[in-house]
Amino acid sequence: MACASHGSVVRGDSPAAYFQAQVSNSLDYIKLHKGHGARVVGIMCEYTPRELIMAAGGIPVCLCGGSGEMVEPAERVLPSNLCSLIKSTFGYSLEKSNPFLEMADLIVAETTCDGKKKMYELLGQQYPMHVLELPQKPDDPDAFAHWVRELMKLKIALEKRFSIVITDEKLRNAIRLMNRERKLKRGLAELMKCEVPPLTGRDLLDMKSLVACMPKDQLQYENALKTLPTRVQDTSAGQGVRVLLTGVPLPHGAERVMDIIEGHGGVVVCQENCSGIKPVLEDISEDAPDMIHAIAAKYFHLPCSVMTPNTKRMELLLQLSREYQAQCVIELVWRTCITYDVESACVKRLVEDEMNIPYLRIETDYAPSDSARIALRVQSLFETVSARGSSQESSLKGCCHD
């Protein structure tokens, strides 16, 4: 038996138990393959095209920091008024305590927000790094063309660094693998569409892998897809107010707010963020004549708040709220994350005026000192949802009278 980090006991051979040991599983995998000559490439954003890295014989590993303990070391160098995710990621590098980072042969990063961009400069002084310039106008053909060129440069840089040629065949293969992984993850996410989902949002989040296309991970995804729909329901899992969680990503170790939401009567049925469904919604055509172009398109479509205008995100939120029958939207913003913070005004308007459901913005960081206040606000939100639900029910009942 293993104990889930959030308290429940799980069967030793279940997908949940497997993913609880995610870090050690990933580490074992990386060590094994590195020993056989594979290259480890650290990534820090969903804009990084895994396919290119895999086609170069690399193993993409996520390096985003989720530990609050790494923030303090980072603050010796970085300003304190910076996003916790950035500080935590950097803090790991100072403490040399992220084994994946220490094993990385290369780090690929993008110029997403200003904070990350400048942090990468400092990180690049310690580790080999390739920075992609991400254009931020998603509807501009010139911007897209620039992005394609950036990916071409990455391809060349990978070939040069790893002394390998990235052939079309290798690219196609990588696309196939990643499409498969995305499909499996979509399938798992779609389980949350059920009236009583067979798992919680936290369970789903725990299944987000650190390493792209790890065979054992994919096996467990398949396992989960087979077993979860038929699972005998634990009465507490999967029940509660249906929450669409949007905003910033929740890296491994930074799941506090998710736990608060689901510990106080909610179930996060959909995670419209980069640690959720957003990066896996779109696949790449395996038959595309120009695969770099196709890869660039898929990744460029990702509606992060750094993009302007970010209308695709609003459309996506509307679509997901309907598909997943969300009863409310909670937007999580890491303190000082300017782009998500400013964009939250649009999200609020969208949710309240068009979706007509309650909205709550939570601004916090990795320090747990405000957990109680957040919990109270979440509880109040759920009370509002329940009250609305009751009045809608009674008005519906009223409607049914002859």
Contact 359, 348 (CB under 8 A): yes
Contact 95, 76 (CB under 8 A): no
- State in angstroms the smallest separation of the CB of 232 from other proteins: 21
Beta bridge partners of 272: 246
| CB nearer to other proteins: pick between 21 and 345 | 345
Q: In which residue are the tokens 């916090």 written?
A: 364
- State in angstroms the smallest separation of the CB of 15 from other proteins: 24
242 backbone dihedrals φ, ψ, rounded to 5°: -80, 120
Contact 60, 211 (CB under 8 A): yes
How far is Cα 363 from Cα 247, in angstroms, rounded to an integer? 10
First and final CA of the chain: distance in angstroms?
56
- State in angstroms the smallest separation of the CB of 364 from other proteins: 12
| CB nearer to other proteins: pick between 142 and 353 | 353
| CB nearer to other proteins: pick between 7 and 141 | 7
- State in angstroms the smallest separation of the CB of 377 from other proteins: 6
Site residues for other proteins per CB under 8 A: 7, 264, 345, 361, 363, 369, 371-373, 375-380
Q: Is 388 exposed, middle or buried (0-12, 13-18, 19+ CB in 10 A)?
A: middle
Pick from 203, 316, 215: nearest CA to 255: 203
- State in angstroms the smallest separation of the CB of 118 from other proteins: 23
| CB nearer to other proteins: pick between 152 and 375 | 375
For 211, residues 6+ apart whose C-beta sits below 8 A from its C-beta are: 26, 29, 30, 59, 60, 61, 62, 217
- State in angstroms the smallest separation of the CB of 74 from other proteins: 16
- State in angstroms the smallest separation of the CB of 259 from other proteins: 13
| CB nearer to other proteins: pick between 216 and 377 | 377
The sign of the torsion formed by the CA atoms of 193, 262, 88, 119 equals positive
| CB nearer to other proteins: pick between 81 and 230 | 81
| CB nearer to other proteins: pick between 80 and 319 | 80
Contact 84, 102 (CB under 8 A): no
Contact 298, 229 (CB under 8 A): no
- State in angstroms the smallest separation of the CB of 264 from other proteins: 7
Here the tokens at position 66 are 């989720």
Contact 24, 100 (CB under 8 A): no
How far is Cα 227 from Cα 233, in angstroms, rounded to an integer? 12
How far is Cα 323 from Cα 172, in angstroms, rounded to an integer? 31
Contact 175, 213 (CB under 8 A): no
| CB nearer to other proteins: pick between 217 and 341 | 341
| CB nearer to other proteins: pick between 297 and 375 | 375
| CB nearer to other proteins: pick between 146 and 348 | 348
Here the tokens at position 102 are 């220490």
- State in angstroms the smallest separation of the CB of 330 from other proteins: 14
- State in angstroms the smallest separation of the CB of 382 from other proteins: 11
- State in angstroms the smallest separation of the CB of 372 from other proteins: 5
| CB nearer to other proteins: pick between 376 and 387 | 376
Pick from 244, 252, 248: nearest CA to 208: 252
**H or E stretch including 40?**
strand 39-43
